[in-house]
Chains A and B, each alone.
Chain A
């Protein structure tokens, strides 16, 4: 969403600036050129006539209002979700800030989990609060595989100087075939 915001923000600024410039041009033109019929750049007299003929209760107005509300809601959602999901690490000094991305943590955990001979494959999602590992095991993997994976992940998390240690959730899916 950060990329969307990077494009959206200057576009919104351009729209506001354009509206402002058009308002100034039209008002000044109407003021100093009273003999000029209609708008200079924008046909606002025609727009005014259309608006004067539309009532608030008409379906067209309702549809446009709902559309405007939805666009507003989308803009709020885009802006609120455009924050960085960084993980903070403990820095050696106070004038230093250390961050990494959840993707890096997920990759480290995935490598550690897949290193086990009993794991066929694993997918990991990580955030500042939670690490979720879904592992697929071989048919003859030991029963205690889940707790082994949890131990391995927690061992890795202890090695990293994370400011906040995430909760670990591991699920082992159905076992497939023999090795």
Chain B
């Protein structure tokens, strides 16, 4: 599938409209797949383990009392408390176990799930919808970005939710590329065309700049 990226560029000459802060936030989120959830959950579990480790070590060295340090790990007081109300503690254990299982499985699913690549649905008339696949839109943007002077390679993909997609563009620049000029032309030519073609006037964009590796020159001619 191909996407027509050759619309009239006269709109890009207009003064830029103020950008919604939510669009700005989405463009920052589109830079890379977020690992924020994984990081904070890992910090939380790490802190719990650290506190437990420190607490037990202090208890073990008698900081909270020598008599307490000499008591068994499975204290008869705790066993008596549990034995006094077995039904309550069974329910507590089952509910706690279920919550832990659901939470753990949800975390695994979120961590290993591939990043969403939403398609764009265009309104083609009364009873027609046109679906532009994420790959086709990305390919069209990338191939146009590769024509900019100073850009050796480009890759683009749509990311985020289907209702609020964002564009992630990676540009591999030549060593002598003028970065300001490349960004200005990407914004004014490639992205303006993409926004018009995909009918997404507020498409947030995250651009990643890399350097193209120089091709090794043969040692022997």
Chain A residues with a Cβ under 8 A of chain B? 2, 5-6, 8-10, 12-24, 27-28, 30-31, 48, 51-58, 61-62, 64-80, 82-84, 86, 89, 91-101, 104, 107-108, 111, 159-161
How many angstroms from the CA of A57 to the CA of B61 in the assembled complex? 6
Query: Looking at the complex, which one of A15, A71, A78, A108 makes contact with B175 (CB distance below 8 Å)?
Result: A108
Q: How far is the CB of A123 from chain B (nearest CB, A)?
A: 17
- Is there a chain A Cβ closer than 8 Å to B69's Cβ? yes
> Which bracket fits the contact residues of B?
35 or more
Residue contact B35 to A2, C-beta cutoff 8 Å: yes
Secondary structure at the B interface, as helix, strand, loop or mixed, is: helix
Residue contact A76 to B61, C-beta cutoff 8 Å: no
How many angstroms from the CA of A116 to the CA of B153 in the assembled complex? 28
A16-B104, A31-B90 are contacts. A62–B60 as well, Cβ < 8 Å? yes
Residue contact B70 to A98, C-beta cutoff 8 Å: no
- Is there a chain A Cβ closer than 8 Å to B220's Cβ? no
Residue contact A75 to B43, C-beta cutoff 8 Å: yes
- The residue of chain A having its C-beta at the shortest distance from the C-beta of B99 within the complex is A20
A10-B112, A13-B107, A86-B31 are contacts. A72–B52 as well, Cβ < 8 Å? yes
Considering residues A19, A30, A79, A100, which has the most beta carbons from chain B within 10 angstroms of its beta carbon? A79
Q: How far is the CB of B87 from chain A (nearest CB, A)?
A: 9
A93-B187, A95-B23 are contacts. A52–B179 as well, Cβ < 8 Å? no
How many angstroms from the CA of A89 to the CA of B111 in the assembled complex? 29
- The residue of chain B having its C-beta at the shortest distance from the C-beta of A104 within the complex is B211
A10-B107, A92-B183, A107-B211 are contacts. A97–B205 as well, Cβ < 8 Å? yes
Query: Looking at the complex, which one of A27, A52, A86, A161 makes contact with B72 (CB distance below 8 Å)?
Result: A52
How many angstroms from the CA of A70 to the CA of B52 in the assembled complex? 11
Residue contact B207 to A97, C-beta cutoff 8 Å: yes
- Is there a chain A Cβ closer than 8 Å to B13's Cβ? no
Residue contact A95 to B52, C-beta cutoff 8 Å: no
Contact with A along B35-61 (1 / 0, CB 8 A): 100111111011111111110110111
A73-B50, A96-B205 are contacts. A24–B105 as well, Cβ < 8 Å? no
